[in-house]
Structure 1
């Protein structure tokens, strides 16, 4: 499908990829992973042709249809409805629809055969392309991504960046490409939409390459993992959990090989040193020196999983009741969020606040953090509660002229410089990075600094809004370790289920305008909630007994003969279908042959043959279905 051979891509003097290889086969569902800065998004841009390789090649069939979701799509602007924007995926159907409308208008005054023939041709093609169902399909996918019927009629320009990205995702999915390249597709989705997308991608028949830091999402979709590391692409034949296990095994083997080789090298060096001065042993010594020089050295295993080596410090513990919420009501124009609800946050609680976007999570979090005072009822802090609040808007509180280390030292003077450098290292700021001015950082880098700053606060209560945004998997693991060690209280909003499952001991969700609580982990909550959903499904009413059917009149001899004739035709079509289906499967196997997909000319030829055979089979299948329905109609 796509063959990447000896790919080298340089940025300045740095080789992001150095003779990397990877073959993407039909049906592959791949997670492309790696630390930030290893070139994952760059590789997707290389595949679609936005960037050109320094050397090597990326080959694919010319008619390969690629659907590419990336953060650059946020710049797309339109004043048309999001339903219209999503339906732009159906370029040919839209063109045919416009032509049919024009022909129908002409037909009001011109009844010529030319107009009638053109109209008939356009309508047949429109129907063959399933044109009458495209609006329904667009509605269905937009609804799955969280858009209500009313919202689907609103202009794209009226939505925020995250919601616009969902529309772009819907448009790509509606194109039904041969391969989907998805760069952080869950970044702007809430939990219900992520689960919907998981289900959709599990049933997607084409190939998929996903760049994501959401390990639960990857585990539920991918069947292969490719790690971008040190300029190479390393393939693992399983999902993300399999990758972790397999990588650990590979590193254990590599570590043992390294130790054995180092022991052998030391033994040889001792031998050489011992006999270097003896003339009688000079030939043997030189032979061993040459052998050592030629030896292919095994690298030691790099530790890609740093651990937290700083501790949270707060000067005083809180009282038992951290936040008490009573008779809380909150509404916006035309939208009621909470109505006369109560809740309690106790010392030691680690609460995950979950739910769909628009249900009031961020609103409730701001009320808890004292960042919103326009509500009815009370939200009161308890004895000795000291709080820090992390949200994306906290970036504005950073002092732009400070270096990273200065910003943290001014905020957390009780921590040593070693501790502060350690926490900055956890969030990908190493070496001289800590002396950079905050004003030169990107938005994502500023977010990481703000999070590091929040974790060094003298606070026994943390309020965290989407803290895992802009973090890679290693940094998410660091944050998990940090919060597991934290002896205070916290409440967090996040759509990263792995993070929530490893941090939270209670789940809050808003239902019927009330704050509801589940006393357990996120995984336990999911099991409980799925059982609850099953119980709440309406039971199907028993159908009343049908009245005895009246006997049908026996078919006439003419009808019997017609049925027999059509059954013979059906058998012929069925045998033809079996032959054609076997041909399609044989061509699929050939496409998976490395000798073919690594040769651009052969790949193009075999892909063309495969597409032609598949189209022929589908046409025969349609004829068989039409004839079968006709026979059933005659028999009824």
Structure 2
């Protein structure tokens, strides 16, 4: 056992977070800590971390336990060091020994005493034991897994935005490899490729992991236990989040039956007491019945569970068949090309999820569709289209001096105050919260108000940029339910895979400046990508086998001068000399294209590294030259890839 919370009680003022709650954390645990927003999940992590002391019970940890806690407070960290250097501070002991080795090395230049040589040898062994020789490589590997490019590694930490800084600090925490790793909403700062990388990494993590997250996909793939903070208690479940949902429903049903049975027993006892308490012959029995009721451990009635209020969209107009068309659209930021003569069409009823890594231009594409960003090319809006755009920059349109409820009333939706209060309840504003001024709200709270405004806008076309950020699971589910009943059209950007899987009927990706469309759900798209990856793997293996066969044939020709044979029967099969020559020719061409592609990719990486260097922008002539070369290499790569695919298909056809 690593940590034992034994009958703990913790209060914030008069409010109890937990009462007489217990939790034992053992090696190999992958725990999802869940609960409604505001119940105190992050507080429980801080109790485990030792930041808060319990008022009752005990928190016991094994000796020398190492804890890692990933949370928003880490953003207060500042550094002018490169992100690679920040990541490498995870190897604090190894870095200290490395400095000792450098010091001793200098001393050895003029001092060859045996004691110094022994110390030097000991330090080298210690450095190796701490994996010091690999700390730079491991740090780079984790940072790149979390979405940083190789060129980014030498950039100062302070040059990055908050979300990217959180990734650096997450990398450092992972590299420290604590016995217990606690992650508070880690996926909020990651794009899909980084989330998938983190999943793979944590699945082989040696220590225990505790995760607070509203990402159901992440929890389902990561955890083997669920601990729910509910009604000041910690309720334990074995299995994934999906298993928890099934078992919780069973527990609720059992509790409700037990409650109803106990209530019937209480009613029977009370009728007995009322009937016989005045009779001398039955008074003693009545007294015993009263004592039994007093000693009875009352079973709580099952509450109604999370809010069942429905969110509803009410479009005011029916649009035409085509919502928007993009023709030959190009968008660049300096040397970075987002779109290059891209085309796309959005039809009425489309439910599109725009997915991919950060930096690919997903939010930019939303703004181009909305018509709020300049671009080259043509954007054709559809007939009768009423657009509502939810994004972080929409927070600027909120009236800071308004109360939350008034902000929604002033939208002109015609909804009653009761309806507006119910809607705000779905977005975690309850009771007197609705009278708070916009000015005093946190960034997350403002985002929820902006999303509520989007919902009551009566639009028939929605553009939603990360709408599930700052929502709990219950609110996300209500938004999913609302979008499933929405008669209009929408394009959304989200890294919440469960949300995307439940809301989209088309998937868009930005690939090499083009908008690639997949007609199907996210689950179908995932299956398609897996099959595609497997096919590419098989093709690469086949190509390698063909290349090896070609090399083997060439070696044999050099070793043995074989007599040419034309159409000589071997076991009833004629050898086609011309076909064999054609195969060998195609193999040589295929190998040349592989080498050409490798060279082009190397050159592209070199140019990207140059463009990521801020100094290049000071030399206009040099910048224009590199930018021109980068554009040309992109065209050359596209052409080479097309030739490569054709050569491979022809080779497979000949071999078949």
User: Shorter-chain TM-score: what band?
Assistant: 0.7 to 0.9
The reply to whether residue 55 of structure 1 matches residue 56 of structure 2 is: yes
Quote the residue 2:109 is aligned against. 108
Q: Deviations over 1:422-462 (max 9, x none)?
A: 11111112222222222232222222111112111111111
Quote the residue 1:539 is aligned against. 540
Using the TM superposition, give the Cα deviation of residue 416 of structure 1 relative to its aligned residue in structure 2, in angstroms: 1.8
Q: Deviations over 1:374-427 (max 9, x none)?
A: 210122221111111111222222222322221111114321222211111111
Q: For 1:276 and 1:58, how far apart are their aligned partners in 2? A: 49
Secondary structure at the residue paired with 2:65?
coil
| Ranges of 4+ aligned residues in structure 1 off by more than 6 Å | none
Quote the residue 2:614 is aligned against. none
Q: For 2:441 and 2:281, how far apart are their aligned partners in 1? A: 65
Q: For 1:262 and 1:375, how far apart are their aligned partners in 2? A: 69
List aligned pairs for 1:436-447, cutoff 5 A.
436-447=436-447
Q: For 2:472 and 2:231, how far apart are their aligned partners in 1? A: 16
Asked if structure 2 preserves the Cα contact closer than 8 Å seen for 1:350 and 1:505, the reply is yes
How many residue pairs align between the two structures? 547
The reply to whether residue 369 of structure 1 matches residue 370 of structure 2 is: yes
Asked if structure 1 preserves the Cα contact closer than 8 Å seen for 2:311 and 2:478, the reply is no
Using the TM superposition, give the Cα deviation of residue 302 of structure 1 relative to its aligned residue in structure 2, in angstroms: 1.6
Secondary structure at the residue paired with 1:7?
strand
Q: For 2:129 and 2:296, how far apart are their aligned partners in 1? A: 65
Asked if structure 1 preserves the Cα contact closer than 8 Å seen for 2:310 and 2:482, the reply is no
Quote the residue 2:41 is aligned against. 40
Secondary structure at the residue paired with 1:210?
strand
The reply to whether residue 207 of structure 1 matches residue 205 of structure 2 is: no
Quote the residue 2:622 is aligned against. none
Asked if structure 2 preserves the Cα contact closer than 8 Å seen for 1:213 and 1:472, the reply is yes
Structure 1, unpaired ranges of 5+: 549-636
List aligned pairs for 1:351-390, cutoff 5 A.
351-372=352-373, 374-390=374-390
Asked if structure 1 preserves the Cα contact closer than 8 Å seen for 2:351 and 2:506, the reply is yes
Quote the residue 2:199 is aligned against. 198
Quote the residue 1:297 is aligned against. 298
Asked if structure 2 preserves the Cα contact closer than 8 Å seen for 1:308 and 1:482, the reply is no
Secondary structure at the residue paired with 2:338?
strand
Using the TM superposition, give the Cα deviation of residue 295 of structure 1 relative to its aligned residue in structure 2, in angstroms: 2.5
| TM-score after normalising by structure 2 | 0.81
Bigger drift between 241-250 and 11-20 goes to 11-20
Using the TM superposition, give the Cα deviation of residue 54 of structure 1 relative to its aligned residue in structure 2, in angstroms: 1.9
Q: For 1:129 and 1:493, how far apart are their aligned partners in 2? A: 42
Using the TM superposition, give the Cα deviation of residue 268 of structure 1 relative to its aligned residue in structure 2, in angstroms: 3.6
Secondary structure at the residue paired with 1:90?
helix
Q: For 1:288 and 1:122, how far apart are their aligned partners in 2? A: 77
Quote the residue 1:329 is aligned against. 330
Q: Deviations over 1:303-333 (max 9, x none)?
A: 2232243532222111111111110100111
Quote the residue 2:632 is aligned against. none
Using the TM superposition, give the Cα deviation of residue 101 of structure 1 relative to its aligned residue in structure 2, in angstroms: 1.6
Q: Deviations over 1:539-567 (max 9, x none)?
A: 2312355999xxxxxxxxxxxxxxxxxxx
Q: Per the alignment, do residues 164 and 286 of structure 1 end up closer, same or farther by CA in structure 2, a change over 3 Å counting?
A: same
Asked if structure 1 preserves the Cα contact closer than 8 Å seen for 2:144 and 2:150, the reply is yes
Asked if structure 2 preserves the Cα contact closer than 8 Å seen for 1:100 and 1:119, the reply is yes
Asked if structure 1 preserves the Cα contact closer than 8 Å seen for 2:413 and 2:458, the reply is no
Quote the residue 2:7 is aligned against. 6
Bigger drift between 443-452 and 501-510 goes to 443-452
List aligned pairs for 1:172-251, cutoff 5 A.
172-251=173-252
Quote the residue 1:406 is aligned against. 406
Q: For 2:291 and 2:18, how far apart are their aligned partners in 1? A: 32
Using the TM superposition, give the Cα deviation of residue 284 of structure 1 relative to its aligned residue in structure 2, in angstroms: 4.1
Secondary structure at the residue paired with 1:187?
helix
Secondary structure at the residue paired with 2:318?
coil
Quote the residue 1:433 is aligned against. 433
Asked if structure 2 preserves the Cα contact closer than 8 Å seen for 1:31 and 1:224, the reply is yes
Asked if structure 2 preserves the Cα contact closer than 8 Å seen for 1:304 and 1:474, the reply is no
List aligned pairs for 1:63-212, cutoff 5 A.
63-212=64-213
Q: For 1:85 and 1:133, how far apart are their aligned partners in 2? A: 15
Quote the residue 2:588 is aligned against. none
Bigger drift between 98-107 and 27-36 goes to 98-107
List aligned pairs for 1:529-608, cutoff 5 A.
529-537=529-537, 539-540=540-541, 541-542=544-545, 543=548, 544-545=551-552
The reply to whether residue 488 of structure 1 matches residue 488 of structure 2 is: yes
Quote the residue 1:265 is aligned against. 266
Q: For 1:95 and 1:315, how far apart are their aligned partners in 2? A: 67
Query: Which structure's relative contact order is higher, taking Cα pairs within 8 Å and 6+ residues apart?
Result: 1
Q: Please report the RMSD computed on the Cα atoms of aligned residues, expressed in angstroms.
A: 1.8
Secondary structure at the residue paired with 1:209?
strand
| TM-score after normalising by structure 1 | 0.83
